[in-house]
Copies of this chain bind each other. A is one copy, B any other.
Amino acid sequence: MKLKFGVIGAGRIGKVHIATLAQSVPEAEVVAVADVNRTVAEELAAKYNIPFVSENHSDIINHKDVEAVAICSPTDTHAAYIVEAARAGKHIFCEKPVDLSLEVIRQSIDEVEKAGVKLMVGFNRRFDPNFKKVRDMVAEGRIGDPHILKITSRDPSPPPAQYVAVSGGMFLDMTIHDFDMARYIVGSEVTEVYVKSAVLVDPAIGAAGDVDTAIITLTFANGAIGVIDNSRKAVYGYDQRLEIFGSKGMVSADNNFPDNHRYFAADGIHGALPLNFFMDRYLEAYSNELKAFCDAVVNNRPVPVGGPDGLMSVAIGLAAKKSVSESRPVRIGEILS
């Protein structure tokens, strides 16, 4: 028995999820797809043998065969679609962020709980084999008590400046993944954020009111401290590494590479650049993520990344923005209350 998916939104991430569901998740089947651009949806339907196509998300949510919806539409539609799907009794996989407003996220979560459906938020990096291995070792006590977390997260190239205006800015469209990763790896809530940021990559990003480079200090409820460093542009590609240090040792995870060749020439030793962006680096993570969602739904287990995780990562992002504008450490409690 396969879990029957309806996918809403056939943009970049929607395409990734449809391909993943079709090719790498034997437990799933895509039975319906919608996009405001019907042609795009039809092309995907043809490619992956999806029997139903619409330009309207409600057609997907209300389609009789659809058991679970994957919400891959723009951020400002997520919360409304979650509520609509919950009321229709469908399980929900929603891309991050759930919304940029904590109040709206809370309402969505309430509706999901009322409906008794599953809601999983798409923090795919938790399902990367390297990061998962680190988390597992922390959970097993291999590093003892966590003391210092370090996350490096740098994109290969910046988005257009106009994007950051609608995305909520770097902390809500990019660092939000790192905030979730920090909570996941340390296994404790973030209680305070301090950000030192700069516009070093593209002045247009600064003109649009955002930053492109940052060092973010985190304080955790369990006493650990951590740091995230971000850049919108690493010329050598997608840089995704972390390490966690504790009383009994340290575990680190490195980038992934397209191959492991090493070339010894007269001018030095050379190797390949990291896999260049998230579709390559997190290919396996996307597949593991959707398998985990299917498992949670089919076997009625808790989802590994729920609504509250979606809420917390946005709260930390909002605290980060406040820290930048006020040049001081900001407690998450200031944001949540």
Chain A residues close to B by CB (< 8 Å): 23-24, 26, 129-130, 132-134, 137, 142, 145, 147-148, 150, 152, 154, 192, 194, 196-198, 200-201, 213-215, 217, 219, 223-227, 229, 231, 233-236, 239, 245, 247-256, 258-266, 268-273, 327-329
For residue A223, which residues in chain B have a CB less than 8 angstroms away from its CB?
198, 200
List, sorted by A's number, 19 A–B pairs whose CB atoms are closer than 8 Å: A23-B23, A129-B259, A133-B261, A147-B213, A148-B213, A196-B225, A214-B225, A215-B225, A231-B245, A234-B250, A234-B264, A236-B264, A250-B264, A251-B261, A252-B264, A253-B259, A253-B260, A256-B260, A327-B329
Q: How far is the CB of A219 from chain B (nearest CB, A)?
A: 6
Task: Knowing A147-B231, A215-B148, A245-B231, say if A251 contacts B263 (CB, 8 Å).
Answer: yes
Q: CA separation between A203 and B192, bound complex, in Å?
A: 22
Cα–Cα distance between A230 and B272 once the two chains are bound (Å): 27
Q: Which residues of B contact A229 (CB under 8 A)?
A: 148, 150, 227, 245
Q: How far is the CA of A259 from the CA of B288 in the complex (A)?
A: 14
Q: How far is the CB of A259 from chain B (nearest CB, A)?
A: 4
Copy count, this protein chain: 4
Q: Which residues does chain B contribute within 8 Å of A217, judged by CB atoms? A: 194, 196, 215, 217, 227
Complex CA gap A264/B263 in Å reads: 15
Which residues does chain B contribute within 8 Å of A253, judged by CB atoms?
A: 259-261
- State whether A250 touches B236 (Cβ < 8 A): yes
- What 11 new A-B contacts, CB under 8 Å, besides A227-B229, A235-B266, A271-B271? A130-B260, A142-B265, A147-B213, A147-B231, A150-B150, A194-B329, A196-B225, A215-B227, A239-B250, A248-B266, A270-B270
B200/A147 in contact, CB under 8 A: yes
A153 to B235 alpha-carbon distance, docked (Å): 27
What's the nearest-Cβ distance from chain B to residue A246, in Å?
Answer: 9
Report chain B residues within 8 Å CB of A197: 225
* Closest residue of B by beta carbon distance from A22: B26
- Shortest Cβ distance from residue A116 to the other chain B in the assembled complex, whole angstroms: 32
Checking B130, B259, B263 against A261 with a beta-carbon cut-off of 8 angstroms, the contacting residue is B130
Set B147, B224, B236, B258: member contacting A249, Cβ < 8 A: B236
| A140→B223 CA distance, assembly (Å) | 41
**A252 neighbours in B (Cβ, 8 Å):** 261-262, 264
